[in-house]
Structure 1
């Protein structure tokens, strides 16, 4: 049975989904500016070491280990739209504190770590609620198209945001460029306030103990043979991606000797692949099968990561962008297919816990990867750390190829029953 049913209309025809999409787009542009500006504040303004840069990246993602499972159980107890609004406001206030501290001459690495941690906690609640809220706005047959549109918005921001960030850093300085992120989160909150769809109150059964709900979410994920292997593959991918994120600013600025504007442009060129992946994901899933595209996308794109450490100064820096573009293409196709599968598979009352469990596992590896990347760059040099990242990306398809996905073209359409 085909997972992707014939479309009966575009999700873009739904006003509330357009507001959700607009909020995602503006907040992502700000977040992409921060992707360039925040590590530049550390590396250029505060002269951070590779290990300190790795610790900053770890601080941004540590929240998934600290509160990830609790967030999922809590989100299943409440309406999800208010969670999205509050998370955006918290992130805006936290990011706005950095340019204020820079203006006062009081900015320190400690504040960077704290802001990264606070925004990370808010992001955990936002992301879990966001993925769990989408099925409230869209019928199940439009989830793939809806996730594709959200990925397209995210990928478009990855094209525009880093170049904008690099330009703002050169024009205003890295700390003041972070105002774009704070404004993006505020704009997102305003869009979300306009959504008219009202969620039903959680069922009384959702008031069980947090511990029982967490166990139920863990059981649902790890008893399912496909979800379990998707979790393993994504955890591996995120470990080595976080390693790259932790060292790439040091690598691009101190090894390849790129100016902030050139670094931002490099990352924008890299993100073109992700945008292409978002635009092609639905068609590829229909053409080769949603089960098959999950593993095939990682098998074909992963080897291009080996171009990262081959990059050099001047024109040879383009190898980094080219490798990233192809890897990002595969990653976005993979994400659209597997996230849509998870939303189709899971009963609504378990969506928060399922998404949080997956996030706990797959994002929980990121602070570990960031710390490992910083340690390797500190002791063996940034290029050696990038070689480790690139080699590790080749391991991503292994769990998928060992799963039932390898023998399937499409995924079963019927939602599984909740497990206790």
Structure 2
């Protein structure tokens, strides 16, 4: 009987991964600052209405619909580390422009929408390169460990970031907080620039027409039955959840008259669930099953949506509902994402990773700008409380794609290329 192959050295001794991890840790805090400062700036300072908030939400994810597919092919042709560096310096400049315009007394809502779109385009390229870079940077038997560490840090930032951001907003204006966000992206740029890897760009003589390479990424996703189910569930969940989360700042800050500081603290307390989810993702997959944990976590997300929808019904306990709803949703999202992203990375050949990730993101994120625009239209027509229940019903419908798939009851997800 042969012994199993030895495990690769721990990631704590992997210098390049530690540099990536440290840079992303700072950027994650910056992203959390931006996540609370931009809605506060739009609603409390610029006086945005439902339609403008919907456009702002749509702008931030528009790039996934516009360049989501070709981004994957471009990333596969490029050095992924350089793509991430360019994306981070772009985000640093865009976030930095907001406080400059504000200090000059020139900031308007359309500036915020345009800059959100620029940040979103940079995010597309960073995210596709980032997910495709992990299998290049670390050994295959450490991919899940790497994803778990990165997600744990993201959730730690999710716990501390909004609360700290909310407290800072009681002392400084939202544009000043966005200047801090710009600095964190600059720090991430420096950290990634210091990484030394052995990645080589795809040979020019082996490149084929861009559309041919895009179709290969789409075909890979379509031909894998489990990936199809996961993509359908994630896309519909993102669509309906975006209807709710786009309008949530208006509900909290304007309708329920909750202060930005308290809003940030509520998000931080609720985000503890994300940290718990990141820590428990691997043990949950082992105990429940790598496949089964995906539909169960999708159903758990429905519970979180119900709690959000109850906020206008019980305004006296709206803060508590926001905290618990955010915690439940965060656990659901983290367990779901770690399981399905690790599966995607294990099953896909390295040369196809960028196109596969871009294809998935085009489908699951491309619906979000559409939802952003529609959220403003629907909220204006039927009101925010009714929109929340509509979104909750939609997320329940979305979970059906993985609940009714072979994932339910599956102990081990396939690792071979011909998995179905």
TM-score tier by shorter-chain length is: over 0.9
Report the equivalent of 2:106. Answer: 106
Query: Shift of residue 204 of structure 1?
Result: 4.8
Q: Any conservation in 2 of the 1:220–1:354 contact (CA below 8 Å)? A: yes
Q: Any conservation in 2 of the 1:37–1:178 contact (CA below 8 Å)? A: yes
Q: Any conservation in 2 of the 1:19–1:192 contact (CA below 8 Å)? A: yes
2:327 to 325, 328, 332: 325
Q: Any conservation in 1 of the 2:50–2:250 contact (CA below 8 Å)? A: yes
Gaps of 5+ in 2: none
Report the equivalent of 2:253. Answer: 253
Q: Any conservation in 1 of the 2:26–2:184 contact (CA below 8 Å)? A: yes
SS in structure 2 at match of 1:199? coil
Q: Name the CA distance, whole Å, in 1 between partners of 2:86 and 2:392.
A: 37
Residues 240-275 of structure 1: CA distance to partner in whole angstroms, max 9, x if unpaired? 222222101001112221101001111111211111
* TM-score (normalised: structure 2): 0.95
Runs of 4+ in 1 over 6 A off after TM superposition: none
Q: Name the CA distance, whole Å, in 1 between partners of 2:206 and 2:262.
A: 50
The within-5 A match list for 1:245-284 is: 245-284=245-284
Q: Any conservation in 2 of the 1:52–1:374 contact (CA below 8 Å)? A: yes
| Matching of residue 413 in structure 1 with residue 403 in structure 2 | no
Q: Any conservation in 1 of the 2:303–2:328 contact (CA below 8 Å)? A: no
Q: Name the CA distance, whole Å, in 1 between partners of 2:276 and 2:151.
A: 10
Report the equivalent of 1:335. Answer: 337
The within-5 A match list for 1:220-235 is: 220-235=220-235
Report the equivalent of 2:403. Answer: 401
SS in structure 2 at match of 1:243? helix
Report the equivalent of 1:309. Answer: 309
SS in structure 1 at match of 2:417? coil
Report the equivalent of 1:127. Answer: 127
SS in structure 1 at match of 2:408? helix
Gaps of 5+ in 1: none
Query: Shift of residue 150 of structure 1?
Result: 1.0
Q: Name the CA distance, whole Å, in 2 between partners of 1:137 and 1:346.
A: 15
1:357 to 356, 359, 365: 359
Q: Any conservation in 2 of the 1:26–1:184 contact (CA below 8 Å)? A: yes
| Matching of residue 21 in structure 1 with residue 21 in structure 2 | yes
| Matching of residue 136 in structure 1 with residue 115 in structure 2 | no
Query: Shift of residue 407 of structure 1?
Result: 4.6
Query: Shift of residue 8 of structure 1?
Result: 4.7
Q: Which moved more, 1:163-172 or 1:245-254?
A: 163-172
Distance change >3 Å, CA 316–CA 90, structure 1 → 2? closer
Q: Name the CA distance, whole Å, in 1 between partners of 2:6 and 2:55.
A: 47
| Matching of residue 160 in structure 1 with residue 160 in structure 2 | yes
Q: Name the CA distance, whole Å, in 2 between partners of 1:9 and 1:291.
A: 27
Query: Shift of residue 382 of structure 1?
Result: 2.1
The within-5 A match list for 1:162-311 is: 162-204=162-204, 206-311=206-311
The within-5 A match list for 1:62-81 is: 62-81=62-81
How many residue pairs match? The answer is 414
Q: Name the CA distance, whole Å, in 1 between partners of 2:193 and 2:8.
A: 27
* TM-score (normalised: structure 1): 0.95
Q: Any conservation in 2 of the 1:256–1:317 contact (CA below 8 Å)? A: no
Q: Name the CA distance, whole Å, in 2 between partners of 1:28 and 1:164.
A: 13
| Matching of residue 86 in structure 1 with residue 86 in structure 2 | yes
Residues 144-197 of structure 1: CA distance to partner in whole angstroms, max 9, x if unpaired? 111111111111111111112212222111122111211111011111112122
Query: Shift of residue 300 of structure 1?
Result: 3.3
Query: Shift of residue 323 of structure 1?
Result: 1.4
Q: Which moved more, 1:112-121 or 1:14-23?
A: 14-23
Q: Any conservation in 1 of the 2:8–2:139 contact (CA below 8 Å)? A: no
Q: Name the CA distance, whole Å, in 2 between partners of 1:390 and 1:325.
A: 16
Query: Shift of residue 408 of structure 1?
Result: 2.0
Aligned-residue CA RMSD in angstroms?
1.8
Q: Any conservation in 1 of the 2:300–2:328 contact (CA below 8 Å)? A: no
Report the equivalent of 1:344. Answer: 346
Residues 31-53 of structure 1: CA distance to partner in whole angstroms, max 9, x if unpaired? 11111110111111111101110
Distance change >3 Å, CA 134–CA 111, structure 1 → 2? same
Q: Any conservation in 2 of the 1:89–1:185 contact (CA below 8 Å)? A: yes
Q: Name the CA distance, whole Å, in 2 between partners of 1:186 and 1:95.
A: 11
Residues 284-308 of structure 1: CA distance to partner in whole angstroms, max 9, x if unpaired? 1111221111112112342232111
Query: Shift of residue 376 of structure 1?
Result: 2.0
Q: Name the CA distance, whole Å, in 1 between partners of 2:354 and 2:249.
A: 34
Report the equivalent of 1:366. Answer: 368
Q: Any conservation in 1 of the 2:247–2:376 contact (CA below 8 Å)? A: yes
SS in structure 1 at match of 2:171? helix
Q: Which moved more, 1:102-111 or 1:387-396?
A: 387-396
